[in-house]
Amino acid sequence: MPSIVLKIDVDTFRGTKEGVPNLVRLLKQHEAGATFLFSLGKDHTGWALRRAFRPGFFQKVSRTSVVEHYGVKTLMYGVLLPAPDIGSCVTEMRAVQDAGFECGIHTWDHVVWQDNVRQRDARWTQHQMLQAHAKFKQIFGSVPKTHGAAGWQMNPYAFEQLDQFGMKYASDGRAMLNEDGSLSNPGYGPYRLKIGEDVRTCIQMPTTLPTLDELLGRTLSGKEITTANIADHLLSLTKDPRDHVFTLHAELEGQKLAPIFEELLIGWRKQGYHCVSMASYYDTIQNTDLPVHSLSWASLPGRSGELVALV
């Protein structure tokens, strides 16, 4: 049975308080596994407004109704309102673990990491990651087993730190996609990352499907992708059975886009897929002969800027 690995990025204070519990209920209802990756420091979402100068940023914002999904208050955190501490949402985070779902690290400060890590040195990178690691242990009482980079942004020192943490698997990058969201290379999947002459121990599980915010509002094959047809479009990308990694967000699928996510859960089951956590998927691939790929960067349809990607 092919797998859809559900990787849930939790970016904000509101997403942790509201979106996460909603997703737990929905996943339990449909008997689906998933991995929740938490931001653990301050919510500086308002600082993301600096991205307005990046090519494609305004186009993405207008397509995905950022204010509608994130809320005006969240967009003011760190600008006109104090940045709340996401790590204070201990009850909500522990409830995820208690419900039987895998939990891991997304980042310490989402905006700071996403906007800076590619240009930063080893000391800065380690400091950010150690803060998140320590907070995770404080909240969950155990060391984190996995990681999924904020905005799919990393640097060589960050990948090295994953090995130092002893993490066996992570999902920090993307597989390249065609304009319609299909894989540019059908062979893309889990791999071992090579940086320079070193092959990292931590297996990478790249996201192989487009996210909802990358598709909504775009015109593909003469048809605008809307909330009414986006589930059908994604299901068309998974009609041929193979393993996939799908990234969703507590702020989107955990709130206003929850009905679309439920459509996907039902549709994937009908297609014969089993929705699983990263840990469950790792158990099926850890002893296989995985390809080795060098660290590379690229831009994807519907998303501004470059990110870690298989090209």
Pick the CATH number of 3-310 from 3.10.290.10, 3.40.50.2300, 3.20.20.70, 3.20.20.370: 3.20.20.370
The number of helix segments (H) and strand segments (E) in the chain equals 13, 14
SS3 call for 70: helix
User: Which residues on adjacent β-strands are paired with residue 77?
Assistant: 81
The phi-psi region of residue 175 (left if phi > 0; otherwise alpha if psi is between -120 and 50; otherwise beta) is beta
Q: What is the H or E stretch that residue 58 is in?
A: helix 57-64
| Residue 167 backbone dihedrals phi, psi, to 5 degrees | -75, 130
What is the mean predicted confidence (pLDDT) over 118-141? 98
Higher pLDDT, 183 or 49: 183
> What per-residue confidence (pLDDT) applies to 71?
52
> What per-residue confidence (pLDDT) applies to 141?
98
| pLDDT at residue 70 is higher than 90 | no
What is the mean predicted confidence (pLDDT) over 41-52? 71
Summarised one tens digit per residue, pLDDT across range 183-200 is 999 999 999 999 999 999
Within 10 Å of residue 271's Cβ, how many Cβ atoms? 14
| pLDDT at residue 40 is higher than 50 | yes
Residues of the chain with pLDDT > 90, as a percent, come to 86
| pLDDT at residue 75 is higher than 80 | no
SS3 call for 87: helix
Q: Are strands 307-310 and 297-298 parallel, antiparallel or unpaired?
A: antiparallel
> What per-residue confidence (pLDDT) applies to 46?
80
Can you tell me the distance from the alpha carbon of 309 to that of 311, in angstroms, rounded to the nearest whole number? Answer: 6
Contact at 8 Å (CB) between 126 and 157?
A: yes
Summarised one tens digit per residue, pLDDT across range 281-297 is 999 999 999 999 999 99
